[in-house]
Amino acid sequence: MKRSKKKKVNLFKVLLAILILFVIIFIIFKLINGIEKDKKILMDNLVGMNINQVMNDIEDYKLDVSTEYKYSDEVEKDLVISQSIDSGVEINSGDKLNLVISLGKLDKEKLKNDGINELGKVPIMMYHGIKNMTNSETKYTGGNVDKDGYTRTVEAFKKDLEFYYQNGYRMIKLSDYINGKIDVEYGKSPIILTFDDGNDNNIKVTGLDSDGNIIIDKNSAVGVLEEFKKKYPDYNVTAIFFVNNGIFNQPEYNEKILHWLVDNGYEVGNHTKNHDNLSKISTSQTQEVVGYMYDKLESILGSKYQKIIALPFGSPYNKTHENYKYVLNGEYNGKEYESVASLRVGWEPEVSPFNKDFDKTFLKRCRAYDNNGKDFDIEMVFRMLEKTRYISDGDIDRIVTSVSNKDIVISDLDKEVIYYE
């Protein structure tokens, strides 16, 4: 009896010891865990460190890091200029950290000597028809097929394109110009090509290949442009075509042509339903002919057309005309339409999209014709541009110009602006 009681007491003691042990382990575990939780990670001072070292050091913290590069006279190349999270601030995985990194000292002297000027002028060339004939076959000067040069020979058009290229011009999309996205390599100048009226010689289709793709006449404007695309891959060949109700006047191919254009780097815009003179019709008719054409383009292309209108006859000539506001906004078929830009029939190059005077709702164009260097023909326009043209620094996010242009730069531009003396 006695022995058995002693045994029971011993068993009780062992169980109690085990229980106490568990409680102690539990308390220690809790304590350690609590300490872990309280251990905060604080941001280091990264300023002045090399970006490669920084990326290595912070890798484990799994931050959402973005970088931005800037020229700096004070901070050496590849070193951090600033950090969006201050040093000493607690960080957690997923936090956004933006680092500004130095590109080193900018050689402003070189920019100046190379004539870089992103406040210079941009030519928007206005073409209509391109006819498959040589210059000697016309009775007018320099490849003009008609007296005013609205239609030009293939020979003259090829010569124009070669001239633009050799003089350092590179094509950009009209929509990119309007949006201030001038992506042209260092030292080169942007140029924009426009075609009005949807003449069938803009893009003449001769048939379909075995896959059902359109076959384009090599002697129509797009045929010539496509040849230049192959010849000079850095030419960025593009153009915008402003069409009327007849589109390219090739009923069996019109829709295929529109799709081909927007799928191959070209743009399409509005030239009103019937090439209407917008200062000679009523306000409701204006909405009818402008809205109709947007509606038609949308029904074929969805959203892949440009909300840009080329004003037939360049009319109205001024923005005070009562119909002008319906060029930009109106209603047709129960739907509202909007033009983000309108093009006039002009005579001189337009200003840079970074100029305070830039007005995309009333842009001037240069007539692409020949008049022996007079009356704002191609030769005269490009002579005028020699000292005033836009010359790119090759960086789409940075604007470079002379300090003498400081007053004409848009003040709230969302790009870095660099001035040289």
Type and span of the H or E element at 32: helix 2-38
Residue nearer to Zn ion on the CB measure, 180 or 316 = 316
Burial class (CB in 10 A: 0-12, 13-18, 19+), 159: middle
Candidate segments 100-108, 307-315, 326-334, 397-405, binder of Zn ion by CB under 5 A: 307-315
- Per CB under 5 A, 377 contacts Zn ion: no
Phi-psi region of 259 (alpha: psi -120 to 50; beta: other; left: phi over 0): alpha
C-beta of 242: minimal distance to Zn ion in Å?
Answer: 7
Residue nearer to Zn ion on the CB measure, 270 or 352 = 270
Q: What 8-state DSSP symbol labels residue 409?
A: B
Give the Cα separation of 419 and 406 in Å (integer). 8
Asked, as a colleague might, if the bond just before 316 is cis with ω within 30 of 0, I would say yes
Q: Is 191 helix (H, G, I), strand (E, B) or coil?
A: strand
Give the Cα separation of 265 and 232 in Å (integer). 15
- Per CB under 5 A, 196 contacts Zn ion: yes
Candidate segments 69-77, 82-90, 171-179, 192-200, binder of Zn ion by CB under 5 A: 192-200
Residue nearer to Zn ion on the CB measure, 116 or 278 = 278
Candidate segments 8-16, 162-170, 189-197, 220-228, binder of Zn ion by CB under 5 A: 189-197
Q: Residue 394: which residues within 8 A CB-CB, separation 6 or more?
A: 184, 185, 186, 187
C-beta of 311: minimal distance to Zn ion in Å?
Answer: 8
Q: What 8-state DSSP symbol labels residue 389?
A: B
> How far apart are the two ends of the chain, measured CA to CA in Å?
110
Residue nearer to Zn ion on the CB measure, 142 or 312 = 312
Type and span of the H or E element at 129: strand 129-131
C-beta of 271: minimal distance to Zn ion in Å?
Answer: 6
C-beta of 64: minimal distance to Zn ion in Å?
Answer: 51
Residue nearer to Zn ion on the CB measure, 155 or 196 = 196
Give the Cα separation of 263 and 282 in Å (integer). 36
Candidate segments 31-39, 90-98, 193-201, 387-395, binder of Zn ion by CB under 5 A: 193-201
Decide the pairing of beta strands 341-343 and 308-310. parallel
Candidate segments 188-196, 297-305, 334-342, 370-378, binder of Zn ion by CB under 5 A: 188-196
Q: Residue 142: which residues within 8 A CB-CB, separation 6 or more?
A: 135, 149, 156, 369, 370, 371, 372, 377
Candidate segments 14-22, 250-258, 296-304, 305-313, binder of Zn ion by CB under 5 A: 305-313
- Per CB under 5 A, 176 contacts Zn ion: no
C-beta of 333: minimal distance to Zn ion in Å?
Answer: 23
Burial class (CB in 10 A: 0-12, 13-18, 19+), 117: buried
C-beta of 288: minimal distance to Zn ion in Å?
Answer: 18
**Tokens found for residue 85:** 């999270």
- Per CB under 5 A, 276 contacts Zn ion: no
Residue nearer to Zn ion on the CB measure, 278 or 351 = 278
Candidate segments 23-31, 93-101, 191-199, 298-306, binder of Zn ion by CB under 5 A: 191-199
Q: Is 289 helix (H, G, I), strand (E, B) or coil?
A: helix
Residue nearer to Zn ion on the CB measure, 196 or 276 = 196
C-alpha distances (whole Å) from 280 to each of 150, 197, 244, 317, 345 are 22, 19, 17, 12, 17
Count, residues near Zn ion per rule CB under 5 A: 3
Q: What 8-state DSSP symbol labels residue 23?
A: H
C-beta of 275: minimal distance to Zn ion in Å?
Answer: 5
Residue nearer to Zn ion on the CB measure, 242 or 382 = 242
Is the Cβ–Cβ distance between 136 and 150 less than 8 Å?
no
Among 160, 176, 197, 370, binds Zn ion (CB under 5 A): 197
Candidate segments 185-193, 195-203, 294-302, 343-351, binder of Zn ion by CB under 5 A: 195-203
C-beta of 391: minimal distance to Zn ion in Å?
Answer: 31
Residue nearer to Zn ion on the CB measure, 271 or 307 = 271
Residue nearer to Zn ion on the CB measure, 135 or 194 = 194
- Per CB under 5 A, 312 contacts Zn ion: yes
Residue nearer to Zn ion on the CB measure, 150 or 177 = 150
C-beta of 256: minimal distance to Zn ion in Å?
Answer: 23
Is the Cβ–Cβ distance between 321 and 281 less than 8 Å?
no
| Residue sitting closest to Zn ion (CB) | 196
Residues of this chain that bind Zn ion (CB under 5 A): 196-197, 312
